[in-house]
Structure formats: structure tokens, C-alpha cells
Chain A
Amino acid sequence: MNVNVSTGKPRLTTSAMIASIAEAGQRTKAAPFGHALCKVAEERADIVGMTADLSKYTDLHIFAQAHPERFFQMGMAEQLLMGAAGGMAKEGFVPFATTYAVFASRRAYDFIHQVIAEEHLDVKIACALPGLTTGYGPSHQATEDIAIMRGIPGMTIVDPCDAHEIEQIVPAIAAHKGPVYMRLLRGQVPLVLDEYDYVFELGKAKLIRDGRDVLIVSSGLMTMRALEVAKAMAGGDADVAVLHVPTIKPLDERTIVREASRGGRLVVVAENHTVVGGLGEAVAGALLRAGQAPKFRQVALPDAFLAAGALPTLHDRYGISTTAMVASLKAWLA
């Protein structure tokens, strides 16, 4: 931790692009995406890696080092990256195209929509800095990437929780036919789900722990937070269940409806994403269509341009830190 020279106090700093979301002392694994992709590529000659000047920041450099002849540096040109990935797919290759989530979802959207998705091409878009995982301000905070991608017919969307899950997701999406948008955690990535004997299945929601009072439905790093919340509240505050939904589209509505209609629990959807158009609204729609209306709350980012600053400060301010979630849950249960 950096220290203020004049006061001697530790200072919260804006997390750099190279920073990890892991907390001090947390178990981690380095570059799980890059290593998993190398493994798949050893068995499949059609896998290629492409990036827009961000291989080092998406862990694709691991693949580039292992398979330089199958790595294509496209320059900082995201529209080109996605359009060319579509072109490679038309010639029979399966590109894993990486950049930051903001630049794939915003800058290259039409190219993803028209070149890749409209022809249901086999392109896997893997994006670092999903949701609020950098303090650089709106230019780098992909708070609405899932809403954008959900609007594309036939787009599969996955939001892994940790390194254990990323290792399983990469071969699964490589085997899946069609376009995939994957939210990427890179660098030193937390290891959480191995403790729960968790197995990823594309399109399946999984109950990670059961509980009588609250059901948290979550994806991505918010599942890690949900599990911390469950532990923190286990002392007598509430018995919290956690349903992990790593595949956001297509949504496992059956499992979600089944769990949400069981036992009269408060249903809380927790996502690292704006309240608009993400997992929360997808779950709400599924429940209403199934005739279920449990008490329902959302832990999500506000519909606003978020501030720049240190990530822990921002996660607290916008309600997605463990402490903030515990406070929200207590208020909703009171």
C-alpha cells in the first residue's frame, strides 16, 4: 500500500489497469484464461488468438508466447478486430478475440452484431475489465456490457466467478458452436469455487449453498461476494443461499424459477453491472412470466456514469462490496 509522505497514512489509490481484484491474502491463480486457452489449442488446430493491443492486459500473451503462429495482433482497432475475427471464422477458424469490455461492447458493437452474430459465426469475445473493475471512470468501466450483448440474438454470455470457473469455461465455449461474449478476470484471479466442488456447465445455474431466509442469485465476481455475505450473516442474521448463474444468456430460467419460488425467501439478484438490462431484469422477467412474484431486490450499479477513484471505495459507494451488501440485506430483512 502506498503511503502519504506528509501524513504517513496509507492512501487509497486508483487501481491501475494491471491490478487484480483479489483481496489481500486471498488464494489466486495467475492468468487462468491464457493457460486454459493454450490447453484447448494444443488439441485443436482451429483455435486462434486475436487482440486489439491488449494481449498483456487480457492474459492472451500466454497464448501468444505458446502459439505465436496462431496469434494475430490487430492493433488498437476494435472494429477491425471483431470484423476480422468474423472473417477468420468464415474461413473455418475459431478466434478468441480479446480487448476491454467497454471497447468490444461500445466501439465494435455493430461489427459484432452484423459480422459475427447475424451469421452466428464461431467467434469467442473475451473481455477484461467487465462491469466496475477499474477506477479509471466511465471510459473504462463496462457497466452496461451485458445489457448491450443481451440484445443480440443468439449471443451466448458468460460471466465467470473465479479462476476455477474460467479454466472450465474456456474449453466449454470453444466446444460450443456460435458467438460467445465472455467477461474476463485476468492477472492474479481469485480462487473460490474449487472449495465448493463446483462444476461449470454451459447454460446451467448452480446452487452453491442453500439457506432458508435469502436467495442470492448472482454471476461473476458477485458470486464470490455473495458467498462472503452468506458467511458474514450466518452468525444469526440470516441463512443465505447462493445460486450462481454464470451463463446469463441463454438463462437457466427453470432452475432460477424453481429456487426463487421455494420457501418464501427474499430473492436478491447481485450483479457487477448497471441495474438496467442485466441479470436482475432478466431474472425478474423470467419470474413474472412463470407467475412467480417473491419479494425481490437488486444489488447492482446505479443507472449513472460512475466516478473515478479507488476500486474498494467505489464498490462500497455503489453497493457491491461485501460490507455494503450485508447492510442492504439487513435493511431489506428488517
Chain B
Amino acid sequence: MDRRPLPIGRGDNLLRDLSVHADNIRRYALRMGEVQGQGYIGQALGIADVLAVAYCHALKLRPSEPEWEGRDRFLLSHGHYGIAFYAALIEAGIIPEKELETYGCDGSRLPMSGMASYTPGMEISGGSLGQGLVIAVGMALGLRQKNNPAFVYNSMSDGELDEGSTWEAAMSAAHHGLSNLIALVDVNRQQADGTSVNILGFEPLHEKFAAFGWFVQRVDGNDLSAVLAAFDAAREHAEPRPRVIIFDTKMGKGVPFLEEREKNHFIRVDADEWQKAIAVLDAKGAVQ
């Protein structure tokens, strides 16, 4: 049975609802990880709160019509976060829950690295990192040219800050005054070879984007009320500049034994731990 998405909106219970959405996203991602016995689960658990606010609050979408012309575009530049993104698409009602059983398997619509031609709601084929923000500039220019008021969100990893193309796009977006472009940067301090700052130092990030002409916010990406406020402020900001929200996130968030595990590009998860992690989330839900 598909889990029906909870009502989406701005009620008194919004934060509580979003926290349920976020944990649902975490559960779906864990179930997909179990299918393959591996995956970028540390990243998925870390970014679940951001995706919950995006998909269950901020984005204009029609779940049954993923290519609706009026939709906000959400670009998954870091294609390896597909596992997290599919979980959000399930929670938003865009793909059916039962499909997570096929994650990464032959013939699946949910390949391990996100691709536009495979998955409804997937705008680009990310994965060759550092391309999303460049594409987002073009889509934002195109939307403005068409007088389409939709936003372009580009979700990206902190590793993508290393690529020159990211900064070409950053300069271009400011030059063109792309107020319809919102970049979301997941600063989880992790890259393939180790801790981000040891790979290529990108701080001070707030100041860097500001110097490039962007409206910048930096928040705890696992503090739902801060994430929510940042999304709202990014959309409502009046100046004609591109917007970036820098999210400091914790890999493994929501599952203490994974939060504490040694951090790696691939966090180790033993075969019996997928269900244990889900049980941790279930227990938390029961208390709320």
C-alpha cells in the first residue's frame, strides 16, 4: 500500500508535519539502501529535512503531472543523491512507494545515479558533478524570457564547490540578476577522499557567494524551522539577485548509530542495520 502524502500547507502543525515527512523520506531511503545493500545513505539522512521542506512545502508541483509547465524546477546536480531524491518523490506522491523495491536494479526507473530519461520528476542527468548550476542559469534565463514565474532550485553538494563551472555559473547568475534561481548547497563536510576542507577549502562560503552578488543564507540544515524560514525568505526576497541557501547538515541524521559512525563517502551499513535504523525512526515517531 502506498503511504499517502500528508496534507501539504502552512497550518499550525506545519513543522510537526514536515518532521513526519522528513522521517518518511529517511525510511524510504533506508529501504532503498537495503535493496542494494549499499548506497549514499549518510547523505540521504542528512539532506532529508531540506528535501521535506522543498517537496512538502516550498515547491509548486502537480504530483500527477511532473512536467506541468508551471512547476518549480528542482535540479539534482549531485546525481549520486538519487536515493534521497527518489524518497522525496515518493513522499510527494510523484512516484509510487512500491517502486523503491526496484532501486538500482536492472530495468528500474530509479537508477543509482539520477538521470532525467529514467525518472518522472527528474529534471536533469546530474552525476557529472558541477553541471547543475550551469543548467539552472539557462533554465532561469529561459523561464524569465517566457514570463514564466516558476523558480529553478539547484540542489548541489559541497564537493561541487570545487568545480570551476560552479563559479562561472555563480558569476553569470548574478550578472543576469536571476532572482528566480535558488541554489541549495548541502555542506555535509564530506567528499570522496575525505573531509571537504582537507580536499579543497571553500570557506568562508557565505562571504564568497555574497561577494559574487548573491542573496545568501546559511542555516543548520537539520533544524526544520530554520530550513523552512530560509526557503520562505529565499522566495520572498525582493532584490533582483540569485539566492543561495547553504545548509550545514549532519550525515546519518536521525539515526544516532549512523550519526556517530566513522564518516566516509560511503558510510558502512551492515546487512541487519537497515531495519534497525528504520526501527529507530519508528520509535521516535511513536513518541511524538
Contacts and interface: CB of A to CB of B under 8 A. Distances in A.
Contact of B191 (A2, A14, A53, A136): A53
Contact of B192 (A53, A137, A309): A53
Interface of B: 34-38, 79, 101, 104-108, 111-113, 115, 118, 125-130, 159-160, 162-164, 191-193, 198-200, 265-266
Interface stretch (A54-62, A150-158, A242-250): A54-62
Interface string A42-60: 0000000001111111000
Nearest to A135: B112
Contacts of A56: 192-193, 265
A74 B164 CA distance: 12
Contacts of B104: 13-14
Given A76-B160, A102-B128, 9 more contacts: A14-B105, A52-B162, A55-B193, A76-B192, A77-B164, A136-B112, A137-B111, A137-B125, A309-B108
A238 interface: no
Contacts, number: 102
Contacts of B162: 52-53, 75-77
B200 A76 contact: yes
Contacts of B192: 53-54, 56-57, 76
Contacts of A11: 35, 105
A294 interface: no
Contacts of B164: 77, 79-80
Interface in A9-66: 11-14, 16, 18, 51-57, 61
Chain B binding surface, main DSSP class: loop
Contacts of B79: 139
Given A56-B192, A77-B163, A308 B199 contact: no
A201 B189 CA distance: 44
Nearest to B127: A139
A76 B266 contact: no
- Categorize the interface residue count of chain A: 35 or more
B8 to A, nearest CB: 31
The CB with the most chain B CB atoms within 10 A, among A6, A103, A137, is that of: A137
A304 B34 CA distance: 31
A138 B111 CA distance: 12
The CB with the most chain A CB atoms within 10 A, among B126, B160, B192, is that of: B192
A61 B106 CA distance: 32
A61 B194 CA distance: 11
Given A51-B193, A76-B160, A308-B118, A139 B105 contact: no
A107 B166 CA distance: 13
A53 B193 contact: yes
Given A2-B37, A74-B200, A77-B200, A308 B113 contact: yes
A296 B198 CA distance: 52
A220 to B, nearest CB: 22
B202 to A, nearest CB: 9
A140 interface: yes
A2 B199 contact: no
Contacts of B127: 136-137, 139-140
Contacts of A90: none
Contacts of A53: 159, 162, 191-193, 199-200
Nearest to B129: A76
